[in-house]
Amino acid sequence: MDVNVFLIVIDTLRRDVMSLYGGDTDTPFINEIARDGVLFENAVSSGNWTPTSHMSIFSGLYPGEHGVHENYDEGDEVIFKKMLEYDGHWFVKDLYKRGYSNIGYSTNPWLSPSSMFDLYYSSFTFFSSEYLTEREMEAVRDYKKYGKNRIDATEYLLLHGKFKEFSHYYHTFRWMLKKKREYGYPFYKASDIIIDNILNSSFNEPFFTFINFMEVHEPSSSWELDTDDRKIKYNDLFGFDVIDDRKIKDVKEGYRKSLKNVDYEIGRLVNFLKKKKMYDSSLIIITSDHGQAMKEQRKIPFYGHGNFLYDEIIEIPLIVKYPGNVKIKRKSGYQSLVNIKKLIENAVDGNNEDVLTEETVFSEMFGPIHNLKRLSDEGIIKKMDNIYEKIIEYFPKRKAVYSKGFKLVINGENGEVEEFTFHGKKANVSEHPNVIKNLRDEISIFRGNEKFVV
């Protein structure tokens, strides 16, 4: 019998916040899936932001192999073009050929019809959560024009007969308040609409359902709302306008609340599947495309994702509930996003062995994820004359390798070791010459023909 498949990507979710992985945020509904399935403890994302990682999930290839990645000059500006040009392995296509009905839901603009991400889906729904946030931001900004506070502004609008405007703001704010009350955070990212949609769908079996939830993706707190996120991140990183601890505290709080909210929505989905008697027989994969740095103590502290290969950016959760709720035997090692394709292909063939785990896995980046030259020239971030030097200094090509408890990150511009840890704790390079040599060899083989100093 053909297996139904759910692939749920909780965008930007780092694994260490989840209680399943020893963190302080409990996710009772995801825990329930983990109880019926297998918790993979060492999953690493192949890239550090949405496009590179999602391309890896769907193609089974590392960013350097599928080619959709940032570079020093153009950052995100070339990504849509590269996504449109990509013409390689794609498991959604294979499922389609097998007669699967593919259904996709996304609130992430990278995963939308603009990048032709909807190809080979019988139905692909993109909710522009960014648009909703923008609309809220606009309303907040505009309203300030009419008075220094809410009461003043309301008085002004009513006294000047601007009833239509008043009505618009009234409804917008009321709606925001409702969401805030419901979820405890001010940003609506449409996860409830996605689940509503699924609950109201009829299913053509076998099917594959892909969901990308943007809930835990920034903005996570209200101070981020008024400003371009690139301005916030890079001015902080270069030390021009530092994000203080209080703001980071707000971020962490918002992030946790958002995770609770996604968890709740996943719970609704699980209940529905149980009721429809589709839960037990389905393959359900819950993972993330990358984590989120929140100014942890690093050589360059950073808020956001992309740009670095810190643990908090590339170590992700991975929970797999196999069809029939079988508990498969896990191999020891690491799981990479590039093996999700194989997991799905094997499961639809009725084979449930551990194809996710490998002895050695990698993560790679090819520069900053934004075009910093343009951001600097246009004054979106503080103007810098030596921008290319800064790019090479802060965002060189990097590759990380994980093997036997060790993690090594190499700067591909000068071959220097940027990070060397053993089970997450800083390790001494001079004490482990053989480990360093072996891991360098792994990276140099992985690099292949690429110009990357090891």
Partner 1 sequence: MEYNKRVEGGLSLNAKEDIARVVIRDALERYKRPFVVWSAGKDSMVVLHLIKSYVEKNNMEMPPALFIDHGQHYDETLELIEKISREWNFKVIYARNEDALNKVKDGKIYVKDLDEENQREVRKIGFLEDYFEYSLDTDVGNHVLKTVAMNNAIKRYRIDALFTGIRWDENPARSWEVFISPREEPPHVRVHPILPFTERNVWEYTFKYNLPVHPLYKQGYRSIDGKYDSKKTSDKPAWEQDLEHTYERAGRSQDKEGMMEKLRRFGYM
* Contact stretch for partner 1 (CB under 8 A) within 6-14, 115-123, 138-146, 443-451: 443-451
* Contact stretch for partner 1 (CB under 8 A) within 21-29, 387-395, 423-431, 444-452: 444-452
Sheet holding 398-403, edge to edge: 360-365, 398-403, 406-411, 417-422, 425-426
Q: Give the contact letters, 257-296, x = binds to partner 1 (CB under 8 A), - = no.
A: ----------------------------------------
**Shortest reach from residue 62's CB to partner 1, in Å:** 7
**Shortest reach from residue 285's CB to partner 1, in Å:** 21
- Which of 42, 47, 48, 65 forms a contact with partner 1 (CB under 8 A)? 65
* Contact stretch for partner 1 (CB under 8 A) within 57-65, 120-128, 246-254, 424-432: 57-65
Residue 205 or 441: the one with the smaller Cβ distance to partner 1 is 441
- Our finding on whether 152 is near partner 1 (CB under 8 A) is no
Residue 176 or 337: the one with the smaller Cβ distance to partner 1 is 337
Give the Cα-Cα-Cα angle 200, 206, 208 (nearest 5 degrees).
Answer: 70
**Shortest reach from residue 437's CB to partner 1, in Å:** 11
Of residues 422-441, which lie at the interface with partner 1 (CB under 8 A)? 441
Two structure tokens written together for 241: 């306008």
Q: Tell me, what amino acid is at 111?
A: L
Residue 26 or 94: the one with the smaller Cβ distance to partner 1 is 94
- Which of 47, 63, 64, 368 forms a contact with partner 1 (CB under 8 A)? 64
- Our finding on whether 323 is near partner 1 (CB under 8 A) is no
* Cα–Cα distance, 214 to 208 (Å, whole number): 20
Residue 293 or 338: the one with the smaller Cβ distance to partner 1 is 338
**Shortest reach from residue 393's CB to partner 1, in Å:** 25
**Shortest reach from residue 89's CB to partner 1, in Å:** 8
**Shortest reach from residue 352's CB to partner 1, in Å:** 12
Q: How does strand 207-213 pair with strand 101-106?
A: parallel
Report yes or no: 319 and 313 within 8 Å, Cβ to Cβ: no
Of residues 73-92, which lie at the interface with partner 1 (CB under 8 A)? 89
Residue 62 or 124: the one with the smaller Cβ distance to partner 1 is 62
Residue 310 or 452: the one with the smaller Cβ distance to partner 1 is 452
Two structure tokens written together for 349: 């063939």
Residue 148 or 329: the one with the smaller Cβ distance to partner 1 is 329
Residue 10 or 401: the one with the smaller Cβ distance to partner 1 is 401
Residue partners of 318: CB distance under 8 A and separation at least 6:
39, 40, 43, 285, 286, 287, 335, 356
- Our finding on whether 241 is near partner 1 (CB under 8 A) is no
- Residues binding partner 1: what is the number (CB under 8 A)? 14
**Shortest reach from residue 415's CB to partner 1, in Å:** 13
Report yes or no: 84 and 110 within 8 Å, Cβ to Cβ: no
- Which of 29, 58, 62, 420 forms a contact with partner 1 (CB under 8 A)? 62
**Shortest reach from residue 413's CB to partner 1, in Å:** 16
- Our finding on whether 353 is near partner 1 (CB under 8 A) is yes
* Contact stretch for partner 1 (CB under 8 A) within 45-53, 61-69, 110-118, 239-247: 61-69
- Which residues form the interface with partner 1 (CB under 8 A)? 62, 64-65, 89, 353, 358, 441, 444-450
